[in-house]
Amino acid sequence: MGNPTGMFHLILGHDQNVISANGLGGASLVNSNVFLETEQDILKMGYWPPEIRDDPAGLNKYYQKVRDVLEPEPYPETWPRLKKMDVFNEQAKTLGLQDKFRRAPLTTRFRDGPNSCGVNMSASTLAGQETTGANDGSKTSTLVTYLADAWNWGAEMFCKCDVRYIEKVQDIRGGYLIYFACHGKGRSRLTVGDVYGDLMWVHAKEAVFLGAGSIGTTEILLRSKQMGLSISDWVGRGMTGNGDILAFGHNCDVEVNALGNPNQDPSNPVGPIITSAIDNRNGHENPLNGYVIQDGTMPQAFSGILPCILDMMPGSRAYEMSLLGRTQAVMGHWKKRLFGSNLKNGPLGNTQVFLIMSHDGNQATLRLKDDKALLEFQGVGKSD
């Protein structure tokens, strides 16, 4: 359903869903701009190839190469104070995790001028819009770094092309054929039926590198296998959601100001979509017990449906509130309905957003059903 070239691609699965990016630049177009390196205790575990687990520090030089391109830096100390960061910092103290609290390294730009690849960038307007594609010129994505650099060196790029499958060329030409559907303007006039029934192709003479993310790459490989390409049976198995959790602290006692807004009050900015983290990945006997909690922001595009989401969230148990608590909740609810959701001290203005990264059982599978990706992760919400 929907626009095949829209910015978001939604996959509804069993017990786990995925929202992925769909465009030139991939997930970096809609990520939260945080630059964190994997902990070496994780890389030493048996899941990794020996080249990595026997020498996890060997990745450091590659992290540095990426760091030189993306130029991450934390939210500047000299910039305006952010309410959501202050509230989150107080919570870290309450949890006894103040020593784990830090400003996260961000690929958000905090200065005007060209980036490492010569693309002119602008300082963040602190609108909290990164996950819907910030339009203020501050989002350091693959699009404005690696892809821009590749373009300058002569690489050819084609947008609105949906790769379907790959076929190995068996004759003297060798290489691979990559079949794709073209969604470009005017293509429908030349196509009998739908674009997927009349595929185009390009010949890769030596090698093909797939960079369509964990979902898109796996989907292409599974479809290629159906079309006869020899591929391991492990493709589509052992997938992980990284133990990701989106959580809310709804209608807190203080203003949080965690709703993205490109037309905000300059004296009370929202800030980048993430500014700080409780990084509790170190010091565990089992490295898989580590986790990261980050302060988040709800982009403006989603704020309209946020009240509905919060009303349906598990844990919204009004019957456990005191009479005063229930009265305050009802008043806040009607204030939201009568005057809108973006009141400075209203329920949404006082709502906190948490993004949590941990670990899960790596037991998700991706398969094709009716030629569409189907993600299955049975029982993930109840597993250790």
Q: How far apart are the first and last CA of the chain?
A: 34
In the predicted model, is pLDDT for residue 320 greater than 60?
no
pLDDT in tens, 137-194: 999 999 999 999 999 999 999 998 999 999 999 988 899 999 999 887 766 566 555 7
| pLDDT of the residue at 345 | 54
Question: Taking Cα atoms as reference points, which of 231, 42, 32 lies closest to residue 140?
Answer: 32
What's the DSSP call for residue 5? T
User: With contact defined as beta carbons under 8 Å apart, do 274 and 106 qualify?
Assistant: yes
In the predicted model, is pLDDT for residue 111 greater than 50?
yes
The distance of Cα 181 from the centroid of its chain, to the nearest Å, equals: 25
Is residue 326 very low, low, confident or very high in pLDDT (cuts 50, 70, 90)?
low
pLDDT in tens, 269-308: 999 999 999 999 998 999 999 999 999 999 988 877 777 7
CB contact set of 199 (below 8 Å; sequence gap of 6+): 164, 179, 180, 181
Residue 323's SS3 state is helix
For 215, 220, 261, the CA distances from 211, given in Å and listed in that order, are 10, 11, 32
In the predicted model, is pLDDT for residue 319 greater than 50?
no
Is residue 20 very low, low, confident or very high in pLDDT (cuts 50, 70, 90)?
confident
Query: What's the rounded mean pLDDT across residues 348-377?
Result: 91
Helix and strand numbers (H, E) in the chain are 10, 14
| pLDDT of the residue at 47 | 83
* Of the listed ranges 65-69, 98-102, 318-322, the one predicted with least confidence: 318-322
Stated pTM of the model: 0.85
User: With contact defined as beta carbons under 8 Å apart, do 184 and 215 qualify?
Assistant: no
- Pairwise pLDDT comparison (310 vs 27), residue with the higher score: 27
